[in-house]
Amino acid sequence: MQPISFEQACEFFGYDPNKVLPDVSMFPVEHQKAATATHKLMIIHDAYNEKKKVDWNNQKQRKWRGWWDMEQHPTRNPSGFRFYGSYYVYTDTFSTGGSRLCFLREEDLLHAAKHHLELFRDMMVITQ
Amino acid sequence: MRPNSFEHACQVKGYDPVKILPDVSMMPASLGQAVLNFIMLVIITEAMNYNEDTKEQWEPDWNDGDQEKWVPWFDMEVDNRNPSGFRFDDSRYDYTVTSSTGGSRLCYQNSEDAEYAGTTFTELFRGMMVLPKA
């Protein structure tokens, strides 16, 4: 399965995409998009992994994560946010993202990073 | 400053700790808690990066290649040192590129603050980062 949209990921799990998102209007404005994006990405991520659980004690299971370039550059990164590369870990894993946003296949990470770049940006970049 | 709780962080930033949290009852339970934990950690980090004396809010400048951005790292592997499968391991820093899930929202000015957050709010990080067993 290659879920492309949040709606497709919701369909995969039987969620109603119109009801599953919380009202974040009481949250500070600069973080509202981040809260929504984080929730969407968690559902999308789970769909990519097709309900398979990340097992940190499984030495044969690769856990893929992304590097993100946050430095603005006039040619290579004019917006100040771009996917930079992928890496994986096995069990000697010291993580900042844990099981929620790591992928079991590199192609899924690359696919998600490409198609959901704006959600990753909303989650990681503070805008006023 | 270093809040000792989410409520303390809200107090520092002038937020109502009850009203600021969204209703996540319509969400699958494990996802709802993860989102709540993310929100609480964002507020806690915001308070930690706030200077009460100068009223200045520190935010990472990813275009400053000399500025260190510190994040807590967690050990996810069960072993004798880590029977629960989740513990703070160390703080590490980025300059312009990060693999941290939180990006600008969950990073700190120095290693001591990252360690403080990772050790004081371990359970919030766990709830955000660990998938519950089916």
Say what the pTM is: 0.92
Q: Which residues of A touch B97 (CB under 8 A)?
A: 67-71, 84
Q: What is the pLDDT along chain A (128 residues), one digit of tens a residue?
A: 566 799 999 999 999 999 999 999 999 999 999 999 999 999 999 999 987 888 888 889 999 999 999 999 999 999 999 999 999 887 655 555 678 888 999 999 999 999 999 999 999 999 86
Beta strands in B24-120 (DSSP E): 50-51, 56-57, 69-75, 87-94, 97-98
CB contact under 8 A, A34 and B105: yes
Other CB atoms closer than 10 Å to residue A52's CB: what's the count? 11
pLDDT at residue B76, as a whole number: 86
pLDDT at residue A99, as a whole number: 83
CB A33 within 8 A of CB B46: no
Q: Which of B20, B71, B76 sits opposite A98 (nearest CB)?
A: B76
Q: What is the pLDDT along chain B (134 residues), one digit of tens a residue?
A: 899 999 999 999 999 999 999 999 988 888 899 999 999 999 999 999 999 999 999 999 999 999 999 999 888 888 899 999 899 989 999 999 888 878 899 999 999 999 999 999 999 999 998 887 76
pLDDT at residue B120, as a whole number: 97
CB contact under 8 A, A94 and B75: yes
Q: Which residues of A touch B89 (CB under 8 A)?
A: 94
pLDDT at residue A51, as a whole number: 73
Q: Which of A54, A92, A124 sits opposite B104 (nearest CB)?
A: A124
User: Cα–Cα distance between B120 and A56 in angstroms, integer?
Assistant: 23
Q: Which residues of A touch B128 (CB under 8 A)?
A: 98, 100
